[in-house]
Copies of this chain bind each other. A is one copy, B any other.
Amino acid sequence: MVMTTKGYNVAVVGATGAVGEKMLETLKKKNFPINELHLLSSKRSAGKEVEFKGETYMVKEATPESFEGIQIALFSAGGSVSKQLAHEAVKRGAVVVDNTSAFRMDPDVPLVVPEVNENDIEKHNGIIANPNCSTIQMVAALKPIQDRFGLSRIIVSTYQAVSGAGAKAVDELQTQSQAYLNGEELNPEILPVGGEKHHYPIAFNALPQIDVFQDNGYTFEEVKMINETKKIMHDDSISVAATCVRLPFFSAHAESVYIEVDDANISVKDIQNAIKEADGIVLEDDPANQVYPTPLSAAGKAEVFVGRVRKDLDHDNGFHLWIVSDNLLKGAAWNSVQIAESLIKNNWL
């Protein structure tokens, strides 16, 4: 691909969604080199107007022809749209960064967190997948530990924000919270999973279901964390277990993570140093001064925050960590745009 004088022709598919909005914010914040910007969506959202850097864009329905002349297409309009249109985009010469689960486990598609496995991008055949939000922040924080001390086991329990379930789930938390405070009925309609048979209140509650259940009793969110982690970290032998829980806050996921490293002689300080020196990861860990990350403190920021690093009291190679990051930024839009930047910087388009 030859770069035009001004930049690249970029399409954002799902421009009006919760992640799409953050995509545009991130493109702006990173001053991404854009020649033409095309905002696309499902038929339902087409016709909306969206502002970007002072100009107003009309959102158009995404069709195969929408990708003529597009060099980079950022998809976040749901798995079915990606399955339908990503290959059409590639056929027309675009490289697709896909933020859905459609192609993540496809052996032909790199699954990338740039801080962890940037070089996998080079092997792409037109599509690069952006991992699940809860996976991204965890592997980003654990990669420097894996590199230095080896990593054999992960057990994670998540504390996930409603924005990961989309704009309607955000509205539902807001509306339900007010109803609860007013002593009114809660009428759940979206969470835990839009389209599922049963809905439960999220306001002042905790729902141990994110995405649909699989036959083995794990939710698809849990399966995603398990499988994606092994693929991104290039190690099928790491044992990974996950329990995913939706909670009543708006932005940023938190994770209570237990790990086992290969080197039983390392200390909390060693883990902290590995994290401190890694790109994109911020150590916020000073118990004596009550310093640790929280969803509210991490929301709106691009980094992954780590605190509460402790050595297990019974297993010398065991450590506990608390990992927090904005699920719509590093967990989605920020990571996608990082992949696009890497494509350009490394001439991998």
Q: Which positions in A face B, CB cutoff 8 Å?
A: 153, 155, 157, 159, 174, 177-178, 181, 192, 196-198, 200-201, 204-209, 213, 216-218, 226, 239-241, 243, 245, 247-250, 254, 256, 258, 268, 287-290, 292, 294-297, 307-315, 318, 320, 322
Contact = CB atoms under 8 A, between A and B. Distances in A.
Nearest to A160: B206
A320 B241 contact: yes
Contact of A181 (B178, B192, B196): B178
Given A159-B247, A248-B249, A294-B200, A310 B218 contact: yes
B290 A205 contact: no
A243 B295 contact: no
Contact of A308 (B181, B208, B292): B208
A205 B249 contact: yes
- Counting chain B CB atoms within 10 Å of each CB, the highest count among A181, A256, A315 belongs to A256
Contacts of A287: 213, 217
A258 B245 contact: no
Contact of A310 (B174, B216, B295): B216
27 contacts: A157-B256, A159-B206, A159-B245, A159-B247, A181-B181, A196-B290, A197-B289, A200-B294, A204-B250, A205-B249, A205-B294, A206-B247, A207-B294, A208-B254, A208-B294, A209-B290, A213-B288, A216-B313, A217-B287, A217-B308, A217-B311, A239-B312, A240-B314, A241-B312, A247-B247, A248-B249, A256-B256
Contacts of A181: 174, 177-178, 181
Nearest to A207: B294
A292 B209 contact: yes
Contacts of A239: 312-315
Given A205-B295, A247-B247, 20 more contacts: A155-B258, A159-B159, A159-B206, A159-B245, A196-B290, A200-B296, A204-B248, A208-B307, A209-B290, A216-B310, A217-B308, A217-B309, A239-B314, A240-B314, A241-B314, A241-B320, A243-B322, A247-B248, A248-B249, A256-B256
